Amino acid sequence: MDLQTLGVGADSALDNVSREVRAVARFRDPERCTWQRLRVALLRAAEALRLATGQSAPPIQVDPILPLRKIAPLPRYFSSNDSPEAVLVSSGTGFFIRLRPGLSECRCRWSKAHELAHTFFYDLTKCPPERVLTRGLSIKEEGLCNDFAAELLMPLGLVTGEAARLQEMSLWAYLHAVRREYGVSTETAARRLLRVQTRFRFAAAVFLDATRAPSRAWWGAGLQSPRARERAVVKRVQYALQHKKLEELDLVRKEENGLASVWWKGGEFGGHYAAAALIDFSRSRSAVAPPIRQAIQP
Ligand SMILES: [Zn+2]
């Protein structure tokens, strides 16, 4: 299985990534050097692969991109659902992806996009492909593969262009409209929108994913860090999701009326409990303080 030529622009974007991976591998301790140039190259490669398969609108299909990185089109499956969500296996002249059985369509798409990124850490001229970074997977590599998957499935250029069209919706409705349109999970959409979308700058999202043990609720904030009182609201929501104290969420909603709009949803998904909450602080941020003159009048 030879690598296809994708055109000068795309080929050079992919070559750039290989060059940056080799540059990182030359360091005695790759973990201690910056991977910033590699990150930029990898994000450009995500765009190049998407455009090479003629995709300029969501949902981005991952399957047509797999053979461009020597990945067999059909995944294989682990025998138990306690397995990792996905792994990339180097075999024969290329790779195959092994998935946990029973993953949702969204999680499959995410996992394939993430594993695609791992192929860049291999020398594809070898049969089977060999890892260039011989120390094995690191947190840095995992982070870059997540960044690649986010850029592939929710390209920055497309996601930032959505704001005007969806202006009239609440943040929660907006999040779900984008999630459906891009074919990603609520968590993936929220992570991306919080990081790149100005409409989410005064927002925070809290997620509980019980598929990971121990189950833990993580939260992420938009482009502006939350203030102390907002952070306290986020912590209350995090606690409520973590301990499934859903009545507490109603209390937060009531007590913080005026400071925050809180939405949440939880339930069983594929035998695991998962929950999501979104908190919008934009109303409190836009509230205008009374003019000083008026405030000091008797
Ligand atoms: Zn990975």
3-state secondary structure the chain: CCCCCCCHHHHHHHHHHHHHHHHHHCCCCHHHCCCHHHHHHHHHHHHHHHHHCCCCCCCCCCHHHHHHHCECCCCEECCCCCCCCEEEEEECCEEEEEECCCCCHHHHHHHHHHHHHHHHHEECCCCCCEECCCCCCCHHHHHHHHHHHHHHHCCHHHHHCCCCCCCCCCHHHHHHHHHHHHCCCHHHHHHHHHHHCHHHCCEEEEEEECCCCCCEEEEEECCCCCCHHHHHHHHHHHHHHHCCCHHHHHHHHHHCCCCCEEEEEEEEECCEEEEEEEEECHHHHHCCCCCHHHHHCC
Contacts made by residues 169-174, CB under 8 angstroms, sequence distance 24+: 170/261, 170/263, 170/280, 171/199, 171/200, 171/203, 171/261, 171/263, 171/278, 171/280, 171/282, 172/263, 172/278, 172/280, 174/199
* Residue 42 CA, ligand 1 centroid: distance in Å: 14
* Residue 113 CA, ligand 1 centroid: distance in Å: 10
* pLDDT tens, per residue, the chain with 298 residues: 456 677 777 889 999 999 999 999 888 888 788 899 999 999 999 999 999 999 999 999 999 999 999 999 999 999 987 788 899 999 999 999 999 988 889 999 999 999 999 999 999 999 999 999 877 778 899 999 999 999 999 999 999 887 777 778 889 999 999 999 999 999 899 999 998 888 899 999 999 876 666 678 889 999 898 999 899 999 999 999 988 888 888 888 887 767 788 898 888 766 678 889 999 998 878 754 444 444 444 3
* Residue 154 CA, ligand 1 centroid: distance in Å: 18
The pLDDT of residue 291 is 43
Kindly report the pTM of this predicted structure.
0.88
Name every residue whose Cβ is closer than 8 Å to that of residue 197 and which is 6 or more positions away in sequence. Answer: 159, 160, 162, 163, 222
* Residue 144 CA, ligand 1 centroid: distance in Å: 9
Do the Cβ atoms of 4 and 25 come closer than 8 Å? Answer: no
The pLDDT of residue 270 is 65
Half-sphere CA count of 293, side-chain side, radius 13 A: 0
* Residue 88 CA, ligand 1 centroid: distance in Å: 8
* Residue 233 CA, ligand 1 centroid: distance in Å: 33
The pLDDT of residue 53 is 95
* Residue 54 CA, ligand 1 centroid: distance in Å: 26
Q: Could you report the per-residue pLDDT of 3-20, keeping only the tens digit for each?
A: 667 777 788 999 999 999
* Residue 87 CA, ligand 1 centroid: distance in Å: 7
* Residue 107 CA, ligand 1 centroid: distance in Å: 13
The pLDDT of residue 87 is 95
* Residue 131 CA, ligand 1 centroid: distance in Å: 13
* Residue 169 CA, ligand 1 centroid: distance in Å: 35
Do the Cβ atoms of 115 and 88 come closer than 8 Å? Answer: yes
Do the Cβ atoms of 224 and 202 come closer than 8 Å? Answer: yes
* Residue 181 CA, ligand 1 centroid: distance in Å: 25
The pLDDT of residue 273 is 80
Ion ligand 1: residue ranges with CB closer than 5 A: 142, 145
* Residue 55 CA, ligand 1 centroid: distance in Å: 24
* Residue 118 CA, ligand 1 centroid: distance in Å: 7
* Residue 254 CA, ligand 1 centroid: distance in Å: 41
* Residue 51 CA, ligand 1 centroid: distance in Å: 23
The pLDDT of residue 3 is 65
